[in-house]
Amino acid sequence: MKQHLLLSACLLAGTLANAQTAPTSGTITYETMRRIDPSNIRININGQEIRPGGTLPDGRKFEVPETTEGVEKVEFGGQWAKADNGGRGGIRMFRGGPGGGFPGGGGDRPGGDNGGDRNGGGERTPEQMRAMQQRTGRFRMPIEQATHTDLATGKSYQLTTLNVDSTKKEYYQTEVAATRPADWKVTGKTKTILGYTCQRATCTIKEQPCTVWFTTDLPFTYSPAADLTPDKGVVLFVESDDLMYRATKIDAGAVNEVALKPRADAKTVSADELRTIRQKAMATMRQQQSRDFPIRN
């Protein structure tokens, strides 16, 4: 009798443990890495557009890093999941070359660090420094992005928020076109990630081999990269030469399920229309940079 009770208690404890590790709502945190396409990068210095490899006013070569790293958090609950992408796919700001910050020094500039020649190529008076700090404090990225995924249908929608000014915002929505690679294959290999048993899948993206690990222990299907979504399961790790997602934490907890859905007042646009909207926002930002942060030779 005692043995039966002990066995029942063990089974119950195992059931409770599994229930605790399979949240129906919460947050997944991913570390990310993406290889940068230099053709999408440019800066504007005093009205002059400079692309990677070009020469800066101080004679240096404009160089950009090969990759960009970050953190992406995905909230899930009910029928929806939402990933806050920041400016991914839109505006990118980088630390400059020697001296840090934007080209020509400028560690005070948004997106720059605090090293190197903080004076941007020349001494500034205390009054000028205070004015720059005030302008920096007012600076805000013109584009914010989030991806909303319908967990029932698997469709994803990119919501782009355009910060027109400090009081006005515009919202645009476009469906994410996603097609899983034709050579997607689940290999049968498994490993444990964050306590969840994961299966291994392989495929090819842009002629590069890609490995995907996903778990079916969670009660929904999701991938931070829409075209790498399995038939069933949640992707916890993606690795290729050009792209990486690595889940570092899964927190169970209540979320605002209403906020996970796309905005009802967002204007639906095509991918081409959204690209034009971004380009205009980038041009406006470059004009603001040239006005607020002039670079002296």
pLDDT tens-digit series, residues 231-284? 999 999 999 999 999 999 999 999 999 999 999 999 999 999 998 988 888 777
Give the mean model confidence (pLDDT) for residues 173-190. 95
pLDDT score for 125? 52
Give the mean model confidence (pLDDT) for residues 285-289. 69
Highest mean predicted confidence (pLDDT) among 1-10, 158-167, 173-182 = 173-182
pLDDT tops 80 at residue 130: no
Torsion of CA 257, 264, 155, 90, to 10 degrees: -100
User: What's the pLDDT tens digit per position in 80-89?
Assistant: 999 987 544 4
The pLDDT confidence band at residue 20, using thresholds 50, 70 and 90, is very low
pLDDT score for 253? 95
* Number of Cβ atoms within 10 Å of the Cβ of 272: 9
Which residue, among 183, 219, 185, has the nearest Cα to 199 in the 3D structure?
185
Q: Which residues pair with 238 in a beta bridge?
A: 212, 245
CB 256 within 8 A of CB 151: no
User: What's the pLDDT tens digit per position in 27-39?
Assistant: 999 999 998 887 7
CA distances from 135 to 90, 128, 217 (A): 22, 11, 49
**All domains in the chain, ordered by first residue:** 30-37+66-92+143-273 (2.50.20)
